[in-house]
């Protein structure tokens, strides 16, 4: 069971750009050369005011290293950020360096609006973890369209007291989906407490071992038998009261709140959430259990954010240099230590901050997550838009309510996803 795609710094709700009139295609090709000088604009997503000093420090250091450059930093609020990027893309007025997740880079790159880093700056690839770099590669197009900036993953938190009350071993949380179902049904039967607060996301299908896309990446195929099998598990849990009914509603965002109120027994999260439990729910914190993510694949889910350079930038040499600078090992490590995220650069996770426990639960979660990221997977396909997410949520809800079979629900959502993909 995993969270929906998120950055852990801010909520991430991907807004589709496909079919929204992205005009002004800007093709890029070949290595970019030229003097690093002049002005560029760098746009971030909801980093002010908490990280103002950090970003200003990075900008100052870059300008000092490259005399004659000026970096204008613009921070946009979380609400409406992706709509803002969409509008700027349509108008051909994207900033020189933009903070975007992989699923937003996909429609921009498909329209030729982002610089292909494999061509423009091929030497940069060696700086980053392979799974981070791969997150910005566009299937069917070739190339990478974003410098990986920060990564995250997280453990499963569970309520030991609720487990114990239901006769479950508080030291043996579920590690696979089969175990999760068995324990969830037992919990619901004996204590009338739901194990889960959210329906399955596309990441859950991947964690279950479902094939999401065809080999050529051109069609979704997660309505395969294994996908139906997962939805049938959730249907059994829902019918037994092991999944909260509120999870089926369109705008439900209360999974974390349900867990904090001890109305559900298990939730995915991060070190940030652990600190919140400690402050806002001390009685829960006293009974908190920390476990590895539930997965059939052996690989945890990874979430990634990065920065891209629009092909329309009038100062590509400086924009590319700054994109690489803001995401270099030194700057990423500083950012990770103040924000609770993880660096995407090679060797970044070898810092003692990510390898040494100090006896606190926060350090325990951080060290475990850092180890997890070594072979974690960015399971969310870059092609999977917010419209597709909404279609999946609605079809899952219909299956839970018995309006259609799990097989029919998945057939319908895959058909819709493939329609949107084209």
CATH code for the domain in which residue 46 is found: 3.40.190.10
Strand-pairing partners, residue 137, are 144
**Residue pLDDT, tens place only, 23-69:** 333 444 678 888 999 999 999 999 999 999 999 999 999 999 999 99
In a domain, 12, yes or no: no
In a domain, 20, yes or no: no
Instruction: Enumerate residues 6+ apart whose C-beta is below 8 A from 162.
Output: 187, 191, 193, 262, 265, 287
In a domain, 411, yes or no: yes
In a domain, 96, yes or no: yes
360 and 386 inside one domain:
no
pLDDT at 335: 96
Tokens 């799990």, residue located: 406
What does the DSSP assignment read for 285-331? HTTEEEEPPP-SSS--B-EEEEEE-BTT-S-HHHHHHHHHHHTSHHH
Q: Measured between alpha carbons, how far apart are the two ends of the chain, in Å?
A: 29
Tokens 């071993």, residue located: 169
Domain that holds residue 349: 38-152+302-370
In a domain, 15, yes or no: no
In a domain, 18, yes or no: no
167 and 249 inside one domain:
yes
pLDDT at 28: 45
104 and 239 inside one domain:
no
Is residue 214 classed exposed, middle or buried when 0-12, 13-18 and 19+ CB atoms within 10 A define those classes?
exposed
pLDDT at 86: 84
Angle between helices 81-91 and 102-110 (to 10 degrees): 10
**Residue pLDDT, tens place only, 332-355:** 999 999 988 999 999 999 999 999
247 and 275 inside one domain:
yes
In a domain, 4, yes or no: no
Which percentage of the chain shows pLDDT scores above 70? 93
Strand-pairing partners, residue 304, are 151
User: 251: pLDDT confidence band, cut at 50, 70 and 90?
Assistant: low
**Residue pLDDT, tens place only, 113-139:** 999 999 999 999 999 999 899 999 988
> Is the peptide bond preceding residue 225 cis, with omega within 30 degrees of 0?
no
Cα–Cα distance for residue pair 188/105, rounded to 1 Å: 42
Which percentage of the chain shows pLDDT scores above 90? 73
User: 305: pLDDT confidence band, cut at 50, 70 and 90?
Assistant: very high
261 and 352 inside one domain:
no
Strand pairing category for 97-100 and 156-159: unpaired
Other C-beta atoms lying within 10 Å of the C-beta of residue 176: 14
286 and 313 inside one domain:
no
Strand-pairing partners, residue 159, are 288
Instruction: Enumerate residues 6+ apart whose C-beta is below 8 A from 224.
Output: 210, 211
269 and 399 inside one domain:
yes
43 and 181 inside one domain:
no
76 and 110 inside one domain:
yes
| CA distances in angstroms from 9 to 234, 273, 275, 342, listed in the order given | 29, 11, 14, 11
Task: Please determine, for residue 16, whether its predicted confidence score (pLDDT) is greater than 50.
Answer: no
Instruction: Enumerate residues 6+ apart whose C-beta is below 8 A from 213.
Output: 139, 219, 220, 221, 381, 383
Determine which of 26-30, 36-40, 95-99, 142-146 has the lowest per-residue pLDDT on average. Answer: 26-30
263 and 196 inside one domain:
yes
What does the DSSP assignment read for 136-204? TB-TTT-SB--EEEEEE---EEEEHHHHHHTT--TT----SHHHHHHHHHHHHHHH--BSBSS---HHH
More confident residue, 236 or 86: 236
**Residue pLDDT, tens place only, 154-189:** 899 999 999 999 999 999 999 999 999 999 999 999
270 and 198 inside one domain:
yes
Look at the chain and report how many structural domains it folds into: 2
Please give the average per-residue pLDDT across 296-303, as a whole number: 93
267 and 319 inside one domain:
no
């Amino acid at each position: 069971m995993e969270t929906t795609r998120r950055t852990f710094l801010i909520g991430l709700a991907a807004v589709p750009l496909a079919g929204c009139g992205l005009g002004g295609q800007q093709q890029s090709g070949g290595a970019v050369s030229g003097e690093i000088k002049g002005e560029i604009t760098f746009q971030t997503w909801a980093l002010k005011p908490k990280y103002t000093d950090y970003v200003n420090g990075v900008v100052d250091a870059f300008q000092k290293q490259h005399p004659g450059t000026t970096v204008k930093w613009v921070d946009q609020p979380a609400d409406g950020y992706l709509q803002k990027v969409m509008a700027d893309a349509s108008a051909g007025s994207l900033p020189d360096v933009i903070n975007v997740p992989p699923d937003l880079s996909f429609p921009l790159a498909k329209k030729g609006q982002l610089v292909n880093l494999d061509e423009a700056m091929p030497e940069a690839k060696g700086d980053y973890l392979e799974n981070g770099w791969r997150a910005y590669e566009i299937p069917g197009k070739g190339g990478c369209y974003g410098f990986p900036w920060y990564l995250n993953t997280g453990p499963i938190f569970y309520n030991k007291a609720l487990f114990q009350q239901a006769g479950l071993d508080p030291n043996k949380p579920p590690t696979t989906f089969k175990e999760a179902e068995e324990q969830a049904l037992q919990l619901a039967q004996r204590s009338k407490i739901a194990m889960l607060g959210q329906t399955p996301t596309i990441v859950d299908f991947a964690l279950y071992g479902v094939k999401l896309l065809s080999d050529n990446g051109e069609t979704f195929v997660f309505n395969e038998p294994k996908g139906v099998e997962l939805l049938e598990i959730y249907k059994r849990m829902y019918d037994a009261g092991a999944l909260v009914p509120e999870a089926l509603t369109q705008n439900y965002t209360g999974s974390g709140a349900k867990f904090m109120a001890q109305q559900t027994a298990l939730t995915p999260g991060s070190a940030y959430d652990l600190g919140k439990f400690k402050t806002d729910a001390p009685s829960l914190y006293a009974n908190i259990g920390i476990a590895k993510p539930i997965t059939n694949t052996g690989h945890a889910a990874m979430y990634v954010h990065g920065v891209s350079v629009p092909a329309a930038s009038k100062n590509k040499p400086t924009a590319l240099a700054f994109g690489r600078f803001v995401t270099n090992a030194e700057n990423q490590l500083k950012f990770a230590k103040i924000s609770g995220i993880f660096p995407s650069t090679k060797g970044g996770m070898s810092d003692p901050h990510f390898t040494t426990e100090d006896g606190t639960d926060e350090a325990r979660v951080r060290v475990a997550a850092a180890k997890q990221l070594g072979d974690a997977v960015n399971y969310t396909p870059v092609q999977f838009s917010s419209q597709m997410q909404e279609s999946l949520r609605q079809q899952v809800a219909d299956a839970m309510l018995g309006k259609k079979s799990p097989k029919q629900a998945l057939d319908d959502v895959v058909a819709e996803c493939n329609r949107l993909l084209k």
